A and B are shown apart, each in its own frame.
Chain A
Amino acid sequence: SAVISQKPSRDICQRGTSLTIQCQVDSQVTMMFWYRQQPGQSLTLIATANQGSEATYESGFVIDKFPISRPNLTFSTLTVSNMSPEDSSIYLCSVARGTNEKLFFGSGTQLSVL
């Protein structure tokens, strides 16, 4: 398994502002993943973050809106920029362990945008 610390756990933000979510893992990992979980919908992958390279974004997600940093093998941040109410969601950090298909998740960040 993996111990993944994510913060903040929740936040209420104003439209047009930005929020940075932090994710800390208990040991080094090659890939870290950022997901969005909207009510009643399946987990959606936003991007994959590898240390030392640009994050890879999934269709529908762009770097200007969701900039990601990966400064080392145990830490990553996701910023939700210029927020609108449509960005209200749970954001989850995850890592893969073992044979690379077992995903472990942080506790999530519940974001509400007013």
Chain B
Amino acid sequence: QKEVEQDPGPLSVPEGAIVSLNCTYSNSAFQYFMWYRQYSRKGPELLMYTYSSGNKEDGRFTAQVDKSSKYISLFIRDSQPSDSATYLCAMGLNNDMRFGAGTRLTVKP
């Protein structure tokens, strides 16, 4: 079993849809959780980070962490074509980071 599991997609939605991206993990010791967005031919860009269970909202993005289920989610409201990218989940313990393989999202106008 991989330490971090992420559905690679691809995921295609119409503009304005709510997008749900998910990751599961096996190491209950992970302390912090992040989501990165990666456009084609670019490096990953930090989108959201959180240290605790619950929800964290930033504009159209909401990061959700459920430590008891070892499950994290990223919700995108009112999705836009500019949200089309690969989304990577990441989690860490001290300076040790683990990444999901990424979900490729396409938002169609």
Contact = CB atoms under 8 A, between A and B. Distances in A.
Interface residues of B, number: 25
A101 B99 contact: no
Contact of B4 (A42, A92, A96): A42
Q: Is the interface of A mostly helix, strand, loop or mixed?
A: strand
A9 interface: yes
B98 interface: yes
Nearest to A33: B97
B95 interface: yes
Interface of B: 4, 6, 8, 31-32, 34, 36, 41-46, 49, 88, 90, 92, 94-95, 97-102
Interface of A: 1, 4, 6, 9-10, 31, 40-43, 45, 92, 94, 96, 100-108, 110
